[in-house]
Amino acid sequence: MEHVVIIGNGVAGVTAARHIRKESDKRITIISSESKYFFSRTALMYVYMGHMPFEDIQPYESHFWKKNRIDLVEDYVDEVDFDSKTLHLLQTPPIHYDQLILATGSKPNKFGWKGQDYQGVQGLYSKKDLDLMERNTRGIKEAVLVGGGLIGVEMAEMLLSRNINVTFLILEKTFWGNVLPKSDGDFVTQHLKRHHGLTLLFEEELDEIIPDDSKRVKEIKTKSGKIIPCQFVGLCAGVSPNVDFLKNTELEIERGILVNTDLSTNQKDVYAIGDCAQFRTPIGKRAPIEQVWYTGRMMGETVAQTIVGNKMNYKPSHWFNSAKFFDLEFQTYGWVWSKRKENESSFVWQDSKEEILLHFVFDENSKLFKGVNSFGLRLRHELFDKWLTEKATIQHVLKNLKIANFDPEFFKSFEKRIVEAFNQEFNETVALAPTKWWRKLLLDKV
């Protein structure tokens, strides 16, 4: 029986294992040094905040693995011998593989800051990081976060939940400036400012971390010379592929493990998926390294097909993503660039009272809908995916905005005002397609 070995039990590796099992009887082993059972990485914050116990962020009960004949090995892979197809582990005897899937994930970026290895300085990616953060933040009062992205916001929310004041150093002029357009970044900033204990410093960079006598962080100095006292520094300037143990092998690595469109590497029967994979040729407008939950899952689905004999290329559909900035939900469908591309027009609508902002992007001439950022309003993935495939116009999207709304029942509806604002700004005459609640209750076929 062929032996498929997967290194890493994050969403990419576990999805691959599940889909291989659905289609085949191969022996499957997952090796992880992080935790015995798969857990949702994105939910680590909820454990720290006391919303959920750690067991609850594990999507499958422990009997799932036995039932699906997926062997779990809790160990660290020290060395991979690609010629003899053998893995050398720290504690367990060597394991032979017929096919190897590398799903090793990421590690927090450390850009060589002075003092980055002192006690109380850390990133947040793994279960170990969470445990470390628990120890590092016990009884402290002030923290500094470096880098204004999603993990930074998560860490800020976590720390505030424990009454720890946070100073957030953000490199860009606006929040998450390399991803969000200025209007959207400013909107998120407004929301963040509503939370007591959070200080945002834009265009500030970490210069040096200063320790006390016991080599624990005492304060930091910024590039502009500001001294900020703190007992914890969170490094949230992105993540990079966790591939150090594979360096200096025959495996071709740049920033991540270089893969072809079918996720194969330059080694026979070795594949790389998820955060650690870097595409030789980027797919569409996507980045060569995609560090997102959903793309990890999709790569796992794809590689499983190849492993069971239906050779398949990674072909994700339209881009989508979501996040939550404290209490502000964010969803995006299609492409909304931080800097508008040529021939792109954008329509931004913001409510005057509620915290809601929608940012539509469309082609200036053809009016083709390109993408949307939505804050504080939930949108239906299915419809936006369909509209992007069908190359719908912005008028068509706005006309049907009401059925695309995914907010809970009885929530206030903003579509009428959005369409009116659009008509006024672009001199259009879009009429909102009405939906009646009683039709929905009794008749509608969607």
Distance CA 123, CA 232 (A): 11
Ranges within 161-190 binding another protein (CB under 8 A): 161-163
CB closer to another protein, 254 vs 327: 327
| Stretch binding another protein (CB under 8 A), from 118-126, 173-181, 215-223, 307-315 | 307-315
Least distance in angstroms from the C-beta of 14 to another protein: 10
CB closer to another protein, 124 vs 253: 124
Is residue 286 at the binding interface for another protein, with CB under 8 A as the rule? no
Spacing of C-alpha 45 from chain mean position: 13
Is residue 400 at the binding interface for another protein, with CB under 8 A as the rule? no
Is residue 262 at the binding interface for another protein, with CB under 8 A as the rule? no
Is residue 440 at the binding interface for another protein, with CB under 8 A as the rule? yes
Among positions 310, 352, 365, 424, the unique one binding another protein when judged by CB under 8 A: 310
Is residue 444 at the binding interface for another protein, with CB under 8 A as the rule? yes
Q: E strands of 230-273, at which residues?
A: 232-235, 239-241, 257-259, 270-272
- CA distances (Å), origin 383, targets 27, 356, 402, 405: 39, 20, 11, 10
Is residue 278 at the binding interface for another protein, with CB under 8 A as the rule? no
Is residue 78 at the binding interface for another protein, with CB under 8 A as the rule? no
Ranges within 118-137 binding another protein (CB under 8 A): 130-131, 134-135, 137
Least distance in angstroms from the C-beta of 216 to another protein: 16
Amino acid at 79: E
C-alpha closest to that of 405 among 425, 433, 426, 429: 433
Is residue 26 at the binding interface for another protein, with CB under 8 A as the rule? no
Is residue 139 at the binding interface for another protein, with CB under 8 A as the rule? yes
CB closer to another protein, 53 vs 282: 53
Question: Phi first, then psi: what are they for 440, rounded to 5°?
Answer: -65, -40
Among positions 9, 33, 346, 373, the unique one binding another protein when judged by CB under 8 A: 33
Sign of the alpha-carbon torsion through 142, 145, 151, 157: positive
Is residue 403 at the binding interface for another protein, with CB under 8 A as the rule? no
In sequence order, what DSSP letters do the residues of 122-185 get, joined into one string?
A: E---SHHHHHHHHHHTTT--EEEEES-SHHHHHHHHHHHHTT-EEEEEESSSSTTTTTS-HHHH
- CA distances (Å), origin 110, targets 76, 147, 225: 22, 11, 21
Distance CA 168, CA 148 (A): 7
Q: Do the Cβ atoms of 433 and 413 come closer than 8 Å?
A: no
Tokens found for residue 214: 């016991």
Is residue 352 at the binding interface for another protein, with CB under 8 A as the rule? no
In sequence order, what DSSP letters do the residues of 357-417 get, joined into one string?
A: EEEEEEETTT-BEEEEEEESS-B-HHHHHHHHHTT-BHHHHHHTHHHHB-SPTT----HHH
Query: Cβ of 84: how many Cβ atoms within 10 Å?
Result: 7
Among positions 226, 381, 396, 402, the unique one binding another protein when judged by CB under 8 A: 381
Is residue 106 at the binding interface for another protein, with CB under 8 A as the rule? no
Is residue 335 at the binding interface for another protein, with CB under 8 A as the rule? no
Is residue 390 at the binding interface for another protein, with CB under 8 A as the rule? no
Among positions 27, 195, 216, 286, the unique one binding another protein when judged by CB under 8 A: 195
| Stretch binding another protein (CB under 8 A), from 18-26, 102-110, 143-151, 340-348 | 18-26
Among positions 56, 244, 390, 425, the unique one binding another protein when judged by CB under 8 A: 56
| Stretch binding another protein (CB under 8 A), from 32-40, 94-102, 395-403, 423-431 | 32-40
Among positions 117, 327, 420, 425, the unique one binding another protein when judged by CB under 8 A: 327
CB closer to another protein, 21 vs 218: 21
Among positions 19, 218, 359, 370, the unique one binding another protein when judged by CB under 8 A: 19
Distance CA 446, CA 435 (A): 10
Among positions 3, 324, 396, 399, the unique one binding another protein when judged by CB under 8 A: 324
**Cα three-residue angle 313-316-319, rounded to 5 degrees:** 155
